[in-house]
Structure 1
């Protein structure tokens, strides 16, 4: 069965952000921020989990991704402001923020720029900004592809990095069959085992990734360009209580990435999950939501 269309929320400048408003409509509001290449559909396939946790989950597409209008030249700061405007339009706040993988810097940026809006943050299998690679522990733990990306970002303009890298992140056209084969080729044994524990998890990831480029590949390019840029927000100004979870078997965002975040943020708590892969957001979904909801009740 096709997924229902997203809600389109109009921002002050007329652009629209696509959001899936699911879970308990009277629950604690939690913004869900996806990775790259990904979309608002990058979440547990059963939205009943959010409802059971008493969470109103607001899963948002970044500009140009999924169903959201593009915003050429966007930055961490501009996306953070978009998310704050979306929360205002929906009349929610304070909110919890759940970010997976490449969504992590956006969550920290939102909390840093809008501290009165964000009550708590959870970073699941978080990636780090390119500036973090100055830390030898981060650079040593990163895979060769991540190190190469950081080296390119140090030498090229963000848009040039995106032009080189983005085409390799997804097949073109990004059909479900092609994306499924692409994701299977990237999967390690730990990720495959974790996905097997989540009914419908593998299918949900394929659908989320296909949706990422539903309007074309501009959003993917802009996501990569933003990752290649020096953050325009002081991420250390994220003072909200922050839970950082990473898995020992995560080959994308190893525990050193989580330790970097825990050292940077003033009120962060690191949890290293033995044997967990990069999809720990799916395997620990209920716990993540419950932890965010608790301080907002």
Structure 2
């Protein structure tokens, strides 16, 4: 009990210093003790460590934000070019900083840009705003104390169109029309601004909605603006935030969220169990309170609020610099269910396609050296993010079935009939087998997959999953803590603790470039934690993977990095699913086998990959859009 009490004290002290997860890295034995002796006390501590002040990690696009430094009276001291062009600096910003205590960040509303439209702002002192996308002049004014607060506005501008072309594969005409629609809030005004006929504008919007997986202009605007902002978690308490900003009732704020998210007024009324007439009156009140005239403008305003609230409350902020390397991101519309699927197609287009399926504690971002190694060997790495991780929307139903369905949609969107796969860890290996049974994956390599019953190991996935498996009541609290309080420094520390005793893993963690990639991928897993939570609970039921009898093109790759970890059980488990697979057990290596033993991965792919001429599908060969049958029904158990 003393060890458990000591851990709880350590956890509370770490929470007070802003890094509660550090206690998990510093005292793993104490964590085991409190789980055994007093899990209820740990549950209470987890719940107390997360509230509305805490947001998840964000990765933002600098080009979509404008900044200024203001004094205590709200007067602009210095502003960047975008901010100066957007606002009339003769009008003080006192409302933006009113009520800020101790420099704490605050999202507010400043109801007058140069066009008279309401615009959301985030404001805070230098201590909290230092990580924001601030202009150098703004930072200098704050550092010299010529200014007291930083003010940031989200303005996607032309960047929204560029991002829409890259991310959703919109045409330039479609993207320009969507950007004009966000700017003007009305399709006729947007068409006039672009100099095109209204019917042409309607066709462009319809095409954009199809490519973005949206069904109304409101959802289209909210989704494209969110993509332009970067990678931000949804606002957990959006309804109370809107009530605070606009003086709405709870029902009016909920109505606004539904409408901005793509619901019709009648659909929103049904969801809230109110009459259509009541919804009409409430929506009119919302428009007046927000100073807007359309549902599209409401979607734009709420997208700004979400982006700035995510920035203001973020536990970790990374910024894409101007001219910096950009991820080859694409958001694919999910056809079998709603939402989008995040994909990083690294190319080259003429390489043999290989899907890379991430581990349970990472997202679509992988080691740059690993991706480059695959490309050098003639492959086209395509990283696909599962539901509830990073930018991929959560998906309904069994997570393995859902991920296999998503992979079908991704391959169809990329016009690929069959691919090879690199599956990292357990859930990814379940997905690979399910897709192989459908005929979409020809073979590949499973990199250190466990059997779902395994939970006593020392790997990062083992440690975290054991909490979910043995203590399901703690699952949600732990997931919220990780989603809202994970910083890059603590994640790097947790990985180093988990890699203790494994020389090759520690060598990877000695490389700052590898650490940056590992942290970025882990932060994507931390975004919401719904993906990891759903997968961990599914694996706790100890399912069996789909069996793939014709499995000569598969390799099972394991490492002997942990002396106390016997790989025999995992080898037996996966050999039953892939009875003809080659088994490779290498010395050393656990978490990062795909990096430390990249040559083994490439050799395994040599037995699995098909030439590009056999992988690209013609339209008639791809799955029909209406085929939404369950995964195992399509592929069978084999």
- Aligned counterparts, 1:90-109, within 5 A: 90-102=414-426, 103-109=428-434
Structure 2: segments with no counterpart, 5+ residues: 1-323, 612-638
User: Residue 390 of structure 2 corresponds to which residue in structure 1?
Assistant: 66
User: Residue 363 of structure 2 corresponds to which residue in structure 1?
Assistant: 39
User: Residue 22 of structure 1 corresponds to which residue in structure 2?
Assistant: 346
Residue 151 to residue 280, structure 1, CA distance change in 2 (3 Å): closer
CA deviations 1:81-107 (Å, max 9, x no partner) are 221221112111311011111322221
Task: Give the Cα separation in 1 of the matches to 2:565 and 2:361.
Answer: 15
Secondary structure class of the residue paired with 1:96: strand
Q: 1:227 aligns with which of 514, 539, 545?
A: 539
Larger mean CA deviation between 116-125 and 46-55 belongs to 46-55
Task: Give the Cα separation in 1 of the matches to 2:464 and 2:487.
Answer: 28
Secondary structure class of the residue paired with 2:497: helix
User: Residue 202 of structure 1 corresponds to which residue in structure 2?
Assistant: 515
Residue 163 to residue 14, structure 1, CA distance change in 2 (3 Å): closer
Larger mean CA deviation between 98-107 and 282-291 belongs to 282-291
TM-score (norm 1): 0.80
User: Residue 189 of structure 1 corresponds to which residue in structure 2?
Assistant: 501
Residue 276 to residue 230, structure 1, CA distance change in 2 (3 Å): closer
1:245–1:258 CA contact under 8 A, matched in 2: no
1:33–1:60 CA contact under 8 A, matched in 2: yes
Larger mean CA deviation between 233-242 and 54-63 belongs to 233-242
CA deviations 1:257-280 (Å, max 9, x no partner) are 134212442221111001223211
> Aligned-pair distance for 1:8?
0.5
RMSD between aligned alpha carbons? 3.2
Give the number of equivalent residue pairs: 281
Larger mean CA deviation between 267-276 and 101-110 belongs to 101-110
TM-score (norm 2): 0.40
CA deviations 1:119-171 (Å, max 9, x no partner) are 112101112223xx5xxxxx8x8459959967975x88xx7574366467x47
1:194–1:276 CA contact under 8 A, matched in 2: no
- Greater per-residue helix proportion: 2
Q: 1:122 aligns with which of 435, 445, 470?
A: 445
Task: Give the Cα separation in 2 of the matches to 1:7 and 1:200.
Answer: 24
User: Residue 73 of structure 2 corresponds to which residue in structure 1?
Assistant: none
Task: Give the Cα separation in 2 of the matches to 1:234 and 1:183.
Answer: 28
- The structure showing larger relative contact order (alpha-carbon pairs under 8 Å, at least 6 residues apart) is 1
Secondary structure class of the residue paired with 1:119: strand
> Aligned-pair distance for 1:52?
1.0
1:198–1:282 CA contact under 8 A, matched in 2: no
2:483–2:526 CA contact under 8 A, matched in 1: no
Q: 1:237 aligns with which of 515, 537, 548?
A: 548
- 2:385 pairs with 1:54: no
CA deviations 1:26-83 (Å, max 9, x no partner) are 1111111111121011344453322211111110110010110111443212211221
2:366–2:517 CA contact under 8 A, matched in 1: yes
Larger radius of gyration: 2
User: Residue 136 of structure 1 corresponds to which residue in structure 2?
Assistant: none
User: Residue 8 of structure 1 corresponds to which residue in structure 2?
Assistant: 331
User: Residue 68 of structure 2 corresponds to which residue in structure 1?
Assistant: none
Residue 189 to residue 2, structure 1, CA distance change in 2 (3 Å): farther
